[in-house]
Structure 1
Amino acid sequence: MTPLLARYAGGQGSQAALYPFWALQNNDLWEVEGSEDLSLTSGGRRPTKAALDEANPMAGLPKDDYELLTHDWALTARIASNLLLRFFPDAMDEVAHAMGLQQLLAGGIDVALRPRVGELYKDRTAIAAAYGGNKVGGITPLEDGLLSVFSDDKGPYDDSRVPGTDWIAYTGDGLSGDQELIKGNKSMALYQAERRALRYWHKPHGGDFTFETWTVVIQCRRRWGVGANGKRRQEFVWILAPVASPLSETWPDEVNAALNADDLSVHNDLDLELPEADPDDAPGAPTPMERYRKLSAAARRTAARRTERSKLTTVERFLRSAPARSAVILRSDGRCENPTCLGHPMERTDKGAPLLEVDHVNQLSDGGGDTPETMIALCPNCHALKTRGSGRRELSKKLLRRARELHEAFSQGEEQN
């Protein structure tokens, strides 16, 4: 064991093997015959090597575990795969070869792992019953130690797919107050630094939790958000790129390129001017028109500095378009801005927010801008008509005129009063 630990885990000296050896014994995963008679170190943490050499005790797996593993090769492959992925992510094939596990893992490490992509469970309690782990935390490992993130459409976090990509903007850990780089966020930062894959679970409205995909963290950003207490706070957003498996050789070139471009810095989006969280009647609170002008100015500054086109710039464009989207929602006063709307212009979500989708009247791919005068708030019905309806071209022209009219009127509204 010592040579393997020295080569693949940085273990040094003749004592290196005693740490995992005795840790397994303390966790009831390894039995050491005569352990109660062994002389321990001064700290009492483990036996001395001299005591082990003198007693030459028998050691091995508990009998029931041994019987199970020697009769259930699928379970053995699963455990071996998990250990390799968890502790030796950069040398899995080498360690498997050194341990003589090639035949056992012939189907592939990712094939042996459980749960499998696509598995569904009613709720977090059902997932924990099947695979262990925390039933509540949004960023937490299952019992196998591999990190999972959970996204619930009815939950308090503003998780979303980045439009035009399959990448995920995942809000960090912490319900209220400024989020800190601790607990789940600290785990995410570690996986980002080590380029390790984690599991992404998603629960749509009225649906079940599904293990949708393995992902890797390709970027971390800092933005303004609103906590569960309704107050504005700073939060992390982790950009997750889906990958086919946790094995890096299966990751697409665009993901590897994004990982290579990531310098592990936290990208700052806090310079954007967002609406104040204070009530409208608070002393000194900005008027809606003042807030709208500030948001529009921030949106123009952000749009002016974009020149490149790639998935990473698409991510930045989406996240830094927050002022423009906020301005449009503010301007709409919670109503669909299509003047001929026949749907439900004032419907609300479960969280009480307007059921509106901010749309670029001219698609970004067609040169559309991220400024309020070219964006409009639509109910889902009108959004579908604008996107897929037979009269979408004529409707788009009308909506663009309407967006410009509303922008002009709202920008000048205070002076007109």
Structure 2
Amino acid sequence: MVNDRRMTTDRFFGSIEKRLENLQSMLEFVDTTKPAEPALRDWLKSNTAAESGSTINKYVGFQRSINLLELQEDQYQITSRGAAFAETGDPELVFEALLANVAGFETILQTLDHQQTTAAAIQASLQKAYPEYQLPQAVVGRHLEWLQAIGALKKQQSTDQYELTSFGKQLLQEKLDQKPVIDNLEIGGTYDRVELHEEYGGARYRGIAPSADYPYVFFFTGDSGAEHGYKDEFRGDTFIYTGEGRTGDMEMTGGNKAICDHKEDGRELHLFENNDKAWSVTYLGQFECVDWFEEQLSDTDGNRRKAIRFKLEPVANDVEFTATDLDAVETDELYERAKGAVTTDGGATQQTTTETTHTKYTRSEAVREYALRVADGVCRGCGNEAPFVGKDGEPYLEVHHLYRRSDGGPDHPDNVVALCPNCHRRVHHGKDGDDFNQELISKTERRAID
């Protein structure tokens, strides 16, 4: 998926000095009243310098675009980050909202590192970093206004030069502190994407980012891509990743080709998930592309198109058993072997030594077998028997992961339950899906205690 950050900002009511104060007051009002659009417009006209309806719509729309405010069923509400800012007034929360949704702020901080400079020089730095955008002075000026409003930089009136404040240096330092080492990346660990690209290359604003200087392909997933037609998901320990291309049929070029040909090219695939905090990503592990297929999905305009979907398997994910069939493995042994990592190369093959024969299975196969065996044909969600018998002659249930890989939940026998298709869809797509998943976690914990 591509990084869909916009490049332009809009102001908010009041001077630079009053901007965050007015924004906080508005968010407090929204949190208290959940107003419809006319009520919010009236409040802004009474409590700020707002006059024009079109300007109100623009400025309120910008707060929605940076995920501080949302509109649900004709009523405005604040997001979790908006609620945090309304309560604390912490300007770093606004900075994070801007950084996560608008390109260019990190470039400005880096341009001002250890030096004062003019708006024209900052404009030139932004144009070099983002050649695909048109960056007139007005766009750059609004970026600078927001950085002044949050207290990250100040302008020297005598020279018309900008410089970082101590707070701006703090924000910059926080971004530069973490230098990821590719060999030491830990699954579930949180990293700064800007630093990842500065160290190893790759386009920081694209979902698939091959490095020109190192044998790595970084690729990124996150919930925000759903609105543009991207659909990524774990199926067991296999990750189904949607290729790049926002409109029209996807083609096997660019980043898509880099994933497809990574073995032939001698490149490693490293998967990250975007977090709510700007440029923060969670490492999901090293994968390899085992196959790809085409599927009809909607593009960013809502039109149906051919989308490329990659089947990716974790690297070094095999488990060895002496039995040639998982059905013959005792449940206790299946659990112990499935929860441990065995670093081997290959998959689902047999190795014979002078003593015994070992059969390799992927960890996901072993974990799946364990979950289905423990369920014994009964859904762990609703408690009903499997709705039908599968082609293999066994009761049909689906294996669900209670915690995502990014939350510390890779394939592990303690992290899976077997569900009927209806309960499985409920946990992923139901309105009460999160609560239902928590019920499943509680049931599993009680089962472990018993």
Q: If the TM-score is normalised by the length of the shorter chain, which range does it land in?
A: 0.3 to 0.5
Relative contact order, CA 8 A, sep 6+: which one is greater?
2
More strand by share: 2
- TM-score, structure 2 normalization: 0.33
Structure whose alpha-carbon radius of gyration is higher: 1
- TM-score, structure 1 normalization: 0.35
